[in-house]
Structure 1
Amino acid sequence: MKFPDMGFGAAPIGNLFRAVSDEQARECLDAAWDSGVRLFDTAPHYGLGLSERRVGAALRGRTGYVLSTKVGRRLVPGDPAPDTEGFDVVSGLRRVWDFSRDGVRRSLEESLVRLGLDRIDLALIHDPDEHVEAALTGAYPALAELRSQGVVKAIGLGMNQWRVPLRFVEETDLDAVMLAGRYTLLDQSGLPLLDACAARGVQVLAAGVFNSGLLATDEPSGTFDYLPASGALLERARTLARVCARHGVTLPQAAIAFPARHPAVSTVVLGARSAEEVRRNAALRAEPVPESLWEDLGFGER
């Protein structure tokens, strides 16, 4: 299956870092739909199931979308407590790593219950950094079996590093890789993975294109990979912004457009926590960027 060119990343509406109300989350998802977004990516990890419940509620009754969720972290009952992994939620659920065959099947069944939907289109193995062998021998064969049975349409891997996904691309039959933050205006370290995906026909969903915030505004500030940006990174981002300005392009506009230039990239996935952010991102995605900008930045034509 061919994925839509723009996706909605639903970690922020799982209360990533700070709470988002149900109403605000629904407005965000409705704005994405109205802006033409037709790929929605979520995960059990995002808000201990909160993101999946909100995405499912917004998609119920709609058709023509691609829904992605993830496996590798199952949610099991625990004592009610504030989350300790970056999401502003209090829950009676806790995460457990599980890349086993049975764990993958149970995870997808539980996701469907939270989503309140009857299908998941794309199932991604989520962050197996410390569990590579378990993911290769357990999670991947389980997903491949579910794909052959028509339970899911496509399978893949979602990570914020490129070396493990490259191994999967070389050793398995993936349909997709979601790569966060490793092919951006500031960080092209994931290029070997993208080139391998292009050679093997694996679609890349480029996420984290703002590197967690540094490229999200015309005047760069804030974080890079969720940590305070160093002075050197800030100066690099400011230099990029100045070059963009000479071509009549904003820094976030260039950040969104850049990964889509690689032939392996099918989709740019953008997270948002407000309808205003969604509409801004969609408008920036629609704006053409002159080839002269890429030449000036030293990227040239791919």
Structure 2
Amino acid sequence: MTTLNEPRPYGRAGLTVGPVGYGVAALGNLYRALPDDTWRECIPAAWAAGIRSFDTAPHYGLGLSEERLGVGLREYPRDAFVLSTKVGRLLEPNPDYRPGQSDIENLFDVPSSRRRRFDFSRDGVLRSVEDSLIRLGLDRIDVLFVHDPDEHEQDALDGAFPALEELRSQGVIRSYGAGMNQSAMLTRFVERTDLDIVMCAGRYTLLDQGAEGDLLPAAEARGVSVAVAAVFNSGILATERPRMEATFEYGEASAALRERVERIADIADGYGATVPQLAVQFPLRHPAVATIVLGADSAAQIRRNASLADEAVPDELWDELGEAGLLGGAGGGES
């Protein structure tokens, strides 16, 4: 049986992480505004549950996620956790802002007094890092990811990655990489740069194993750590049984997908396991995968997420799922 809770190397600079990290987009009021007493409980709950890695981005809530994460982490020893944020979107004053206007069209319930501007240049990266440190109120960032450069691949290769290499060589950051919801471009970055960590969302899950054909073998060959995000595929794998209104990739899940998840749940039941457990633990079985990054908007949800890796499910369960043809997934690596 696979051991899940031992620390795993994260990049090549001596960082280590546990099986589950906390992705704090919700602290930026993702979908809805969080009351003060709710968001202030989240980081302490994660810490109490053993989580020691935290991921944020300027994009999340127009900087609010970074600000709240920094507040939550200040009472803990800086060397005891791994902090990652992202570059590629600069925040600047929104000249068109009027009181009462919200950023909800970008999924965040915050005033739209700032706006995002894509910038993958060297100067953009350096400014982004400086701004993030101010918002976080912390002395350093461990990992920087180039964030969603889907339409800016060459700009990232020419500007952002050399800047991150410079920051790493100067000791300003420990590691760098890219975070995307596709595997094809991430694979090219693994092959063409000296990054040492990537974050791949939604492309290595129970229902979509597209990254297995390109990113994961490339990462393993180059000694690159992979953090896997969006393991619930936006909702269908987040519950023990799929609901009629379940979503897949932020759209309505098909009847065929719901039936497939029901079959997975039936087999899991026989071993005392659940679909969310499998969703979290499946990616961790691959040697290139260092950690799973899970979002949560309450202390209770954080505790539940952390518990999904507490007890490894039996190898026999994975064998039975494979024999039933339930571990193959459609590719999502094209770009």
**TM tier, smaller:** over 0.9
2:224 matches 1:210: no
The higher-RCO structure (CA 8 Å, 6+ apart) is: 2
Given that 2:58 and 2:86 are in contact with CA atoms closer than 8 Å, whether structure 1 keeps it comes out as yes
Which residue identity lines up with residue 82 of structure 2 in the other structure? Answer: V
Q: Distance in 2 between matches of 1:234 and 1:18?
A: 27
2:16 matches 1:3: yes
Deviation sequence 1:235-264 (CA, Å, 0-9, x none)? 221221111112210110111111000000
Structure 2 residue matching 1:266: 3-state secondary structure: strand
Which of 25, 32, 35 is the aligned partner of 1:21?
Answer: 35
Which of 156, 160, 164 is the aligned partner of 1:135?
Answer: 156
Which of 244, 254, 277 is the aligned partner of 2:278?
Answer: 254
Report the Cα offset of residue 25 of structure 1. 1.2
Q: Percent identity?
A: 58
Which of 169, 175, 178 is the aligned partner of 2:196?
Answer: 175
2:282 matches 1:268: no
Q: Distance in 2 between matches of 1:130 and 1:111?
A: 23
Q: Distance in 1 between matches of 2:236 and 2:46?
A: 23
Q: What 5-or-longer segments of structure 2 have no aligned partner?
A: 1-13, 326-335
Report the Cα offset of residue 60 of structure 1. 0.8
Q: Give the count of matched residue pairs.
A: 301
Structure 1 residue matching 2:71: 3-state secondary structure: helix
Q: Residue 279 of structure 1 aligns with which residue?
A: 303
Q: Residue 150 of structure 1 aligns with which residue?
A: 171
Q: Distance in 1 between matches of 2:257 and 2:210?
A: 15
Which residue identity lines up with residue 15 of structure 2 in the other structure? Answer: K
2:47 matches 1:37: no
Q: Residue 297 of structure 1 aligns with which residue?
A: 321
Given that 1:42 and 1:70 are in contact with CA atoms closer than 8 Å, whether structure 2 keeps it comes out as yes
Runs of 4 or more above 4 Å deviation: none
Q: Residue 108 of structure 2 aligns with which residue?
A: 87
Which of 168, 173, 182 is the aligned partner of 1:161?
Answer: 182
Q: Distance in 2 between matches of 1:292 and 1:105?
A: 49
Q: Which range moved further: 239-248 or 268-277?
A: 239-248
Report the Cα offset of residue 280 of structure 1. 0.8
Q: Distance in 1 between matches of 2:314 and 2:273?
A: 9
Report the Cα offset of residue 271 of structure 1. 0.7
Deviation sequence 1:174-231 (CA, Å, 0-9, x none)? 1100011110011101112011111111000111111111101001132112222122
Deviation sequence 1:135-180 (CA, Å, 0-9, x none)? 0110000000000001111001000100000000001101100011
Q: Distance in 2 between matches of 1:95 and 1:240?
A: 41
Aligned-residue CA RMSD (Å): 1.4
Which of 40, 58, 63 is the aligned partner of 2:72?
Answer: 58
Q: Distance in 1 between matches of 2:29 and 2:50?
A: 24
Q: What 5-or-longer segments of structure 1 have no aligned partner?
A: none
Deviation sequence 1:18-55 (CA, Å, 0-9, x none)? 22123211211110011110000000001111110110
Given that 1:178 and 1:206 are in contact with CA atoms closer than 8 Å, whether structure 2 keeps it comes out as yes
Q: Distance in 1 between matches of 2:300 and 2:273?
A: 20
Q: Residue 76 of structure 1 aligns with which residue?
A: 92
